[in-house]
């Protein structure tokens, strides 16, 4: 072989190696690009590949504070905790409260739900902002805006200087409506003697008023008050109530007395009078015992009296 052929063989071998290297590098780049597209994890060897150090971030964990009622002091001022009216907050109230309904013993172990996350307690209004301490504190704040009552203004002197008297009623109760129809009743009174009328003027006034003037109380009453029906009365008296009428009918039927009969004998009429008096006496005793039970609480005496009535 000549030298020319040797050089040709060497050049061809070098050219073949260079082409194979280019082909290998292009295929490696394609594999790398394909791996990046497919999110293929590559094996990185320390010392061969450049490895970036990862910065470990510490997650901030918020410490959950315990409920406020566990940190409250015994002598803490409740007016600062619950100053105004707002919905129920279980984390603030330091005493146990339960509200709700349980269908059976399997539900909540037969116990009424407690205050934690109780929606029933949030629905209803509460009076935690109207404690005696709240009212006392608010009255002391309002005293600065009020004028003192004049000294020596008592008895008849008040009626002479303030002849017009107005009586209104306010009611506070738990309901879906804050308005009470009983608060619409307003009574306005004035004494005729405080009008400083002359004899002729007073005679003319009494002539114009007519039957509306009450000579016993020296007051004037409007005619619509006498024409009021049972439906319009705020308080129905016992003698006009339907329950009393039904009770008289029932007792008369047990004694074989027909109330609807117009031709009653004298004996039946006397029996009806006795029944009426007995019903009224029992009503008075029942009323007094119930009032004592509500005002003083349950005692052995009040419970015995109620048992004797029934």
Q: How far is CA 59 from CA 52, 56, 62, in A?
A: 21, 9, 9
User: What is the spatial distance between Cα 285 and Cα 303, in angstroms, rounded to a whole number?
Assistant: 13
Q: 229 and 196 in one domain?
A: yes
Counting Cβ atoms within 10 Å, is residue 176 exposed (0-12), middle (13-18) or buried (19+)? exposed
Burial class (CB in 10 A: 0-12, 13-18, 19+), 273: exposed
User: How many Cβ atoms sit within 10 Å of the Cβ of residue 208?
Assistant: 9
Q: Is there a domain that residue 276 lies in?
A: yes
> Looking at the domain assignment, is residue 36 inside a domain?
no
**Alpha carbon distance 196, 161 (integer Å):** 12
The tens digit of pLDDT for each residue in 260-292 reads 666 667 777 777 778 878 778 878 887 888 888
Q: Is position 59 within any domain?
A: no
Q: How many CB atoms lie within 10 A of CB 303?
A: 12
How confident is the model over 182-222, as pLDDT tens digits? 787 787 777 777 777 888 998 898 888 887 787 777 777 66
- What pLDDT is attached to residue 310? 62
**Which range, of 76-80, 133-137, 150-154, averages the lowest pLDDT?**
150-154
Residue 13 lies in a domain: no
Q: What pLDDT is stored for residue 29 in this prediction?
A: 57
In a domain, 66, yes or no: no
Numbers of helices and strands, H then E, in the chain? 10, 4
pTM score over 0.75: no
Domain boundary among 181, 202, 235: 235
Name the phi and psi angles at 16, rounded to 5. Answer: -65, -40
Which of 235, 251, 277 lies at the terminal end of a domain, its last residue?
A: 235
Q: What interhelical angle do 266-296 and 242-254 show, nearest 10? A: 130
CB of 100 closer than 8 Å to CB of 122: no
Mean pLDDT of 125-138: 91
**Domain end call among 235, 260, 276:** 235
Please check whether residue 89 lies inside any domain of the structure. Answer: yes
Expressed as residue numbers, the domain containing 224 is 162-235
State the Cα–Cα distance between residues 168 and 273, nearest whole angstrom.
39
On the CB side of 195, CA atoms within 13 Å amount to: 15
Number of domains within the chain: 3
6 lies in some domain: no
In a domain, 56, yes or no: no
């Amino acid at each position: 072989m000549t030298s020319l052929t040797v050089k040709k063989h060497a050049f061809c071998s070098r050219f073949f190696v260079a082409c194979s290297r280019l082909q290998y590098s292009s295929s490696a780049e394609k594999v790398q690009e394909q791996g990046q597209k497919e999110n293929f994890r590559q094996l990185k060897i320390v010392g061969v590949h450049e490895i970036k150090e990862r910065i470990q971030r510490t997650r901030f964990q918020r410490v959950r504070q315990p409920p406020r009622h566990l940190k409250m002091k015994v002598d803490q001022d409740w007016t600062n905790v619950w100053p105004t009216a707002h919905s129920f907050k279980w984390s603030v109230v330091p005493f146990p409260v339960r509200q709700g309904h349980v269908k059976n013993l399997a539900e909540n172990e037969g116990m009424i739900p407690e205050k934690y996350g109780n929606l029933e307690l949030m629905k209803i209004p509460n009076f935690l902002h109207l404690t005696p301490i709240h009212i006392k504190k608010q009255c002391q704040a309002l005293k600065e805006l009020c004028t003192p009552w004049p000294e020596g203004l008592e008895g008849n002197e008040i009626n002479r200087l303030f002849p017009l008297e107005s009586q209104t009623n306010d009611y506070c109760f738990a309901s879906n409506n804050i308005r009470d129809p009983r608060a619409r009743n307003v009574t306005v009174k004035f004494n005729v003697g405080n009008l400083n009328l002359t004899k002729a003027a007073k005679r003319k006034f009494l002539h114009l008023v007519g039957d509306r003037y009450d000579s016993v109380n020296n007051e004037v009453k409007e005619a619509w008050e006498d024409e009021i029906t049972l439906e319009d009365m705020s308080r129905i008296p016992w003698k006009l109530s339907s329950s009393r009428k039904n009770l008289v009918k029932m007792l008369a039927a047990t004694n074989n007395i027909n109330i609807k009969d117009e031709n009653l004998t004298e004996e039946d009429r006397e029996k009806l009078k006795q029944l009426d008096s007995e019903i009224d006496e029992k009503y008075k005793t029942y009323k007094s015992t119930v009032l004592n039970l509500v005002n003083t609480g349950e005692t052995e005496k009040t419970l015995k009296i109620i048992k004797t009535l029934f």
